[in-house]
Amino acid sequence: MKFIYLFKDLHKVQLLHIMFFLFSIHLATAQIMSGPMLGYIELRTAKIWCEVVPGTKTELIYWKVGNANSTQKAYKNFNKFMNFETQIFDLVNLEPGTKYMYQIISHPKPKSINATGEFSTQELWKWRKPAPDFSFITGSCAYFNERVYDRPGKPYGNDSSIFISMAKEDSDFMLWLGDSWYTREVDYGSEWGLWYRASRDRNFKVLQPLLKNMSNYAIWDDHDYGPNNEGISYIFKEESRKVFQSYFANPTYGMNNQGIYSKVSHNDVDVFFLDNRTWRSSDRMPSYIQGKINEEKIMYGKEQLTWLKNALLSSTATFKIIATGSQIINAYNKYDCLFQYPAEYKELMEFLQYSKVNGVVFLTGDIHFSEINKLERDSLYPIYDVTVSPLTSGVTKLTQEDRNNKMRINGALIEEHNYGKLSFLGNDKERKLVIEFLNKYGESKYKLEIPASELKNKKQ
């Protein structure tokens, strides 16, 4: 009625044209269910993701800001399963350090603009000037309620406004540290259920600004992989990998068609994505047998650890962030921690000791509170394990043993919904990592500065 009142003086034919135009816009908008989401962006290429109504015909065009004559058309890849379809566009032939605009155009009749956005490629700084300052945000455990399938009682998911605060951050990317959605009993018993959960939870309106405003990368943990605490024995793990590939636009997803491990480089920082589920032994497998380390109990597997070691040795980055769903060094965590997988824990710690790799920091999730643990090492730099959790799922009620954790840095404990922000600042000689925990309002709750010089082994 408002529409008719505002245009009552227009000729009927004009009115019909306007109504048809507005209907066309609505029709076009409806073709995209989720996104667009920025994925991997590097110096000369970029990825942009969206989920569409199955069968929607789309194209993406892009151009340099201020130069409409530079328009190019992106390459498109489909991921389809039953009543689900996602699309990932590859944008190529870009220039470093340049801002671009894009449009996603659908082809119902008439042809319509579906979505618009912008992004900037990474800067070509190496050999030219000091590494630019930048930051990324991070977090784990995002639960969206669906009462009919959730457990009875108090909802496990909480206020989702934290994603609004995160979208406002002036950061280059968001790194999801696992449990980006939570499969339920009605989901992980079928392939369709795995696709349904990812699609349904990605579709929330509150998420869309975060997806659009910065690159989004991810690793997984148990709940966005399959059942609680599941690992190598999950019968749908191959389909779960397909779902993960279909809902995130990481640069790569493992090797030899296995796993989801990968790496992203940004300025003088390398972020190594680890897969703590594909090869993982059951948590209930004994860590020791007759006083000896049980070599069969593993979290990452030989192939992945071999890749990580070589990738660390090849890296020239000032900071080497190893992101994984489970904590690494916390001896007070009796459950989901690499420390409880002593064969691989010993192998990794010994590698870091004899290889003399500098700049390593662990970034982890899962435990539903945030903390920073620190492992002091004789004659070597300390190892930090920064845990960021949860975004919206339930906050853990800490046991006395958790509170008595002697590895935790004094004050570095957050018992509320929060996200992390890692900033890399300063020139070569004064380069530093600033770790910050922020609450759902974007208010800083804790901050720690780690100079790059602290993460270097002393020369022998």
Instruction: Report pLDDT digits (tens) over 304-349.
Output: 999 999 999 999 999 999 999 999 999 999 989 999 999 999 999 9
Predicted local confidence at residue 3, as pLDDT: 37
* 2-120 and 134-455 share one fold: no
Is residue 22 predicted with pLDDT exceeding 90? no
- For the chain, the average pLDDT equals 93
State the DSSP string of 88-133.
EEEE-S--TT-EEEEEEEE-SSSPEEEEEEEEEPPP--TTTSSPPP
Tell me how far apart the alpha carbons of residues 347 and 375 are, in angstroms, rounded to a whole number.
16
Predicted local confidence at residue 18, as pLDDT: 33
* Region 428-452 average pLDDT: 97
Q: Would you call the peptide bond into 251 cis, given omega within 30 degrees of 0 as the criterion?
A: no
Question: What percent of the chain has pLDDT above 90?
Answer: 89
Within a 10 A sphere around the Cβ of 259, how many other Cβ atoms? 23
Within a 10 A sphere around the Cβ of 383, how many other Cβ atoms? 18
Instruction: Report pLDDT digits (tens) over 276-300.
Output: 999 999 999 999 999 999 999 999 9
Predicted local confidence at residue 17, as pLDDT: 39
* Region 210-232 average pLDDT: 98
pLDDT band at 170 (very low <50, low <70, confident <90, very high): very high
Cross-strand partners of 383: 375
The answer to whether 312 and 383 have CB atoms below 8 angstroms apart is no
Is residue 23 predicted with pLDDT exceeding 50? no
Q: Would you call the peptide bond into 110 cis, given omega within 30 degrees of 0 as the criterion?
A: yes
Give buried/exposed letters for 116-137 (b at 16+ CB in 10 A, else e).
Answer: ebebebbbeeeeeeebeebbbb
Instruction: Report pLDDT digits (tens) over 370-415.
Output: 999 999 999 999 999 999 999 999 999 999 989 999 999 999 999 9
Instruction: Report pLDDT digits (tens) over 65-87.
Output: 999 899 999 999 999 999 999 99
pLDDT band at 15 (very low <50, low <70, confident <90, very high): very low
Provide CB contacts within 8 A for 12, sequence distance 6+. none
Q: 234-239: which pairs have CB atoms within 8 A and are 24 or more residues apart?
A: 234/188, 234/277, 236/188, 236/190, 236/191, 236/194, 237/277, 237/278, 239/191, 239/194
Tell me how far apart the alpha carbons of residues 72 and 92 are, in angstroms, rounded to a whole number.
9
Q: Which amino acid is it at 300? A: Y
Predicted local confidence at residue 458, as pLDDT: 81
Q: Which amino acid is it at 31? A: Q
Sort strands 84-91 and 75-81 into parallel, antiparallel or unpaired.
antiparallel
* Region 116-127 average pLDDT: 97
Q: What's the whole-model pTM score?
A: 0.93
* Region 203-228 average pLDDT: 98
* Strand arrangement of the beta sheet that strand 408-414 belongs to: 262-266, 269-273, 319-324, 360-364, 380-387, 370-377, 408-414
* Per-domain boundaries in the chain: 2-120, 134-455
Sort strands 32-41 and 46-52 into parallel, antiparallel or unpaired.
antiparallel
Predicted local confidence at residue 113, as pLDDT: 73
DSSP state of 394: P
Instruction: Report pLDDT digits (tens) over 414-430.
Output: 999 999 999 999 998 89
Q: 272, exposed or middle or buried, with CB in 10 Å at 0-12, 13-18, 19+? A: buried
The answer to whether 122 and 215 have CB atoms below 8 angstroms apart is no
**134-455: CATH homologous superfamily?**
Alkaline phosphatase D (PhoD) (3.60.21.70)
pLDDT band at 1 (very low <50, low <70, confident <90, very high): very low
Predicted local confidence at residue 68, as pLDDT: 87
Predicted local confidence at residue 364, as pLDDT: 98
Q: Of 88, 116, 171, 95, nearest to 424 (Cα)? A: 171
Is residue 21 predicted with pLDDT exceeding 50? no
* Region 246-258 average pLDDT: 97
Is residue 175 predicted with pLDDT exceeding 90? yes
Q: Which amino acid is it at 182? A: Y
Predicted local confidence at residue 335, as pLDDT: 87
Instruction: Report pLDDT digits (tens) over 86-116.
Output: 999 999 999 999 999 999 998 765 567 789 9
Is residue 258 predicted with pLDDT exceeding 70? yes
List the structure tokens of 155.
Answer: 């909802």
Cross-strand partners of 34: 51
**2-120: CATH homologous superfamily?**
Immunoglobulins (2.60.40.10)
Give the three-state DSSP class for 340: helix
Crossing angle of the two packed helices 342-355 and 302-314, in degrees rounded to 10 = 20
Q: Is the dihedral of CA 160, 391, 114, 120 positive or negative?
A: positive
* Region 361-372 average pLDDT: 98
